[in-house]
Amino acid sequence: MAEFKVVEKFVSINGEGVRAGQLAVFIRFLGCNLNCNYCDTKWANTDNTAYEVMNEFEIYKYIKDTGVKNVTLTGGEPLFRDYMVVLLRLLGVDESINIEIETNGSVDFSGLLEVCKNISFTMDYKLPDSGMEAYMCLGNMEILRKIDTVKFVSGSIEDLQRTKEIIKQYNLTEKCHIYISPVFGKIDPADIVEFMKDNHMNDVNLQLQLHKFIWSPDKKGV
């Protein structure tokens, strides 16, 4: 058994990704190895944050008890700790649930593909405005599958230019789902649409984080 530090667990709707708008059960793990300028979950990344220790069987039971089949493992950075593989092995064999791992793009997940055949990755590519682009694990770009997603959280036209370059460089439209989301309050989504039009960005999805519009942008547990 492994022990996981869980800072939040709740049912809400998926705010983004291919199952946006659907119910999902969220498990948020403590800690992150990055420090993005726009991070809206910094509170979950410090050692002072209150957490609950759960083992993989308790997490699985919580998920099943909700009756919700979409599961989002998030943080912080859920892959930051090696023992996450223990939980993924347990969850990955249950084909009645859809598991998605939200990862920040800095952790090499090639070693997890074997246990993640039914588990999708939604991987951020951290753009220049985040201040974290240097930490991206570019090897992940080569192993993305059709069930995976790359998400570009863009705060400026410079970020959008970089998004376009990365999509082209790694031929992402042929490999996986692609989403662009605005950094909330930093760029007008209409400007993203104009950029997409001007640059003929087919097979790319603009996505607004639903929970920021349904609830207060800083609300936890939603």
Residues that bind ligand SF4 (CB under 6 A): 32, 34-36, 39, 41, 45, 75-77, 104
Of 92 and 105, which has the nearer Cβ to ligand SF4? 105
Of 106 and 120, which has the nearer Cβ to ligand SF4? 106
Distance CA 72, CA 35 (A): 21
3-state secondary structure of 161: helix
Length of the chain: 222
- For the chain, helix, strand, coil in percent to 5 are 35, 25, 40
Of 135 and 215, which has the nearer Cβ to ligand SF4? 135
Shortest gap between Cβ of 41 and ligand SF4 (angstroms)?
5
Tokens of 162: 């970089």
Of 183 and 201, which has the nearer Cβ to ligand SF4? 183
Shortest gap between Cβ of 104 and ligand SF4 (angstroms)?
3
DSSP H stretches of helix in 18-156: 56-66, 84-92
Shortest gap between Cβ of 194 and ligand SF4 (angstroms)?
25
Shortest gap between Cβ of 36 and ligand SF4 (angstroms)?
3
β-pairing verdict for 52-55 and 98-103 = unpaired
